[in-house]
Structure 1
Amino acid sequence: MTDAGTSGERRGRSPLGLAILSAIGIALIAGFVSLGVWQLQRRVWKLDLIARVEARLHASPVAAPPVADADDTYRRVTARGVFRNDRETFVQAVTERGPGYWVLTPLVGPQFTVLVNRGFVPAEKRAVHDRPTYPVSVTGLIRMTEPKGGFLRSNDPVQDRWYSRDVAAIAAAKRLGPVAPYFIDADATANPGGYPVGGLTVVTFRNSHLSYALTWFGLAILTGVGLVILWRGGRDRSSE
């Protein structure tokens, strides 16, 4: 019994086993360090994004363009035209004011049509909010389309049930024809009667990349300590 146990212990301490464990440990360290470096790079990107968005939020508005892409998100713009109130769309929303709807209304300008998120209305104000029929000027932030729907909820154009601000789908369902491929989040300029309530755009960016990086680097250090202990144990056993 003693001989068998001693033989098994020696096999567990073989140079091949030590080499395999060492290779795995080194690979883990390399992976953890790579992930830590990647998180630091993500942190630099996130800080740059936050700085750019902050600059856009405080910049003077420019004329709304007929097209825009993700690089234009949160740019302040002004659009002029007439609202097509008969084609407005209600998108379910949960805001700091509670549950309700975003009111998306086509703004028909001299050159193109753009959807405007005029703001939030609670359910009881859905039918009685302000609907101007005269030419207006809207200032707000460019936002990118939100295709398909919300979390676990798909938009249902046939039933006119919307969970996300899907520009293309809304334009098709409301028969708007060509529209700008983005929507404008209206600013906090008050509407007659108080609704819709604009200026509720949430502009926050989670930035936990430094803590993630430190976690990965910490795991690399712990793995390195484990390797040192393993190597010392192997050296001590080889000298027996």
Structure 2
Amino acid sequence: MRKSVLVPLIFGIAGVAVLVSLGKWQVERLAWKEGVLAEIEGRISAEPVPLPEGVEPEADRYLPVQAAGEIGARALRVLVSQKQVGAGYRVISAFETEGRRVLLDRGFVKVAGEIPETEGAVRVVGNLHWPDDRLSSTPENDVPGNMWFARDIAQMAEVLETEPLMIIAREASPPEQGVTPLPVDTSGIPNDHLSYAITWFSLAAIWAAMTGFFIWRMRQPREGQQR
């Protein structure tokens, strides 16, 4: 007697339905995330404005700004790594502009490279940002040794005696020799929804195939039995 295939069939259909619905949800999330990234990219590349007086981290994140002033002689070094370049430092200095003193992320220098001292007025175009570099595994900053592992704005502002406000330089005029700007972009914002969707849809296909194989095996006559 052939075993009933109703239970495994229902179980298989339910599993496929759940996995497909999860895949469709990830496709919807992908469309949402792409819209968010497009909005951020448009904001980053918008026409720069003068440095505003009052700023809000959420409302003014990525705001393009331009300012003229002088870069302080002291530089904080944040350890980073660049693809195809290797280890180096982000250089953070004070930037005095129109009676204000803010933080300036000047860009990247190699470990063996010298951090230049810039004299005279510099025009900077960049974006306001409140970076979140710190993870649970990130070491504490070695302030006395000037070895930083995260751009902790409040702590940097205290050390350099600036406002807790950071400009990430996109370009400087005149350009700083030996310093490569690391502008704000969306590359650090995760968007894994496509891979998640593919995973769920693949699991749905595998589940359906396994259910079909299981039912086929159940319907086969046992050894010694005839149809």
User: 1:209 aligned to 2:196?
Assistant: no
1:42 matched to 2:29: yes
Deviation at 1:37, TM superposition (A): 2.1
Partner of residue 117, structure 2? 130
SS in 1 for 2:147: coil
Give the deviation of 1:167 after TM superposition: 0.8
Can you list the C-alpha shifts for 1:35-91, whole angstroms capped at 9, x where unaligned? 3123212211232133223323432112334424356443321234443333x3111
Cα deviation, residue 124, structure 1: 3.8
Change (3 A) 1:227 1:164: same
- 3-state SS of paired residue (1:194): coil
Note closer, same or farther for the CA distance 1:45–1:233 as it changes in structure 2 (3 Å cut): same
1:157 to 125, 129, 143: 143
1:171 alignment partner in structure 2: 157
Q: For residues 164 and 191 of structure 1, what CA distance do their matches in structure 2 show?
A: 28
Q: Matched residue of 2:145: which SS?
A: coil
1:142 deviates by 2.6
Query: How far apart are the structure 2 equivalents of 1:150 and 1:196?
Result: 29
Which residue number corresponds to residue 224 of structure 2? none
Structure 1 residue 189: Cα displacement: 3.2
1:168: Cα distance to partner?
Answer: 1.4
Give the letter for the 1:103 counterpart: V
1:142 corresponds to which residue? Answer: 128
Larger CA Rg, structure 1 vs 2: 1
Residues 84 and 108, structure 1, Cα contact 8 Å, conserved in 2? yes
Task: Check 1:226–1:72 CA distance in 2 against 1; reply closer, same or farther (3 A cut).
Answer: farther
State the distance in 2 between where 1:36 and 1:206 align. Answer: 18
- 1:223 is aligned to 207
Q: How many residues align?
A: 219
Unaligned runs of 5+ in 2: 222-226
Q: Comparing both structures, which one devotes a greater share of its residues to helix? A: 1
Quote how far apart the aligned CAs of 1:112 are: 4.8
Return the letter of the residue paired with 2:96: V
Shift of 1:116: 0.9
TM-score (norm 1): 0.70
Q: Which residue of 2 aligns with 1:120?
A: 108
Give unmatched runs, 5+ long, in structure 1: 1-9
| 1:217 Cα deviation from its structure 2 partner | 1.7
Amino acid at match of 2:130: M
> TM-score, normalising length from structure 2?
0.73
Name the CA distance, whole Å, in 1 between partners of 2:11 and 2:57: 44
Q: How large is the RMSD of aligned CA atoms in angstroms?
A: 3.6
1:34–1:153: structure 2 CA closer, same or farther, 3 Å change rule?
farther
Question: Structure 1 90/149 Cα, relative in aligned 2: closer, same or farther at 3 Å?
Answer: farther
**Higher alpha-carbon deviation: 221-230 or 33-42:** 221-230
Provide closer, same or farther for how the CA distance between residues 24 and 167 of structure 1 changes in structure 2, counting only shifts above 3 A: farther
Q: Name the CA shift for 1:110/1:28 in 2 (closer, same or farther; >3 Å).
A: farther
**How many angstroms does 1:14 deviate by?**
7.8
SS at match of 1:161: coil
1:94 equivalent to 2:81? Answer yes
C-alpha separation between the residues in 2 aligned to 1:165 and 1:191? 25
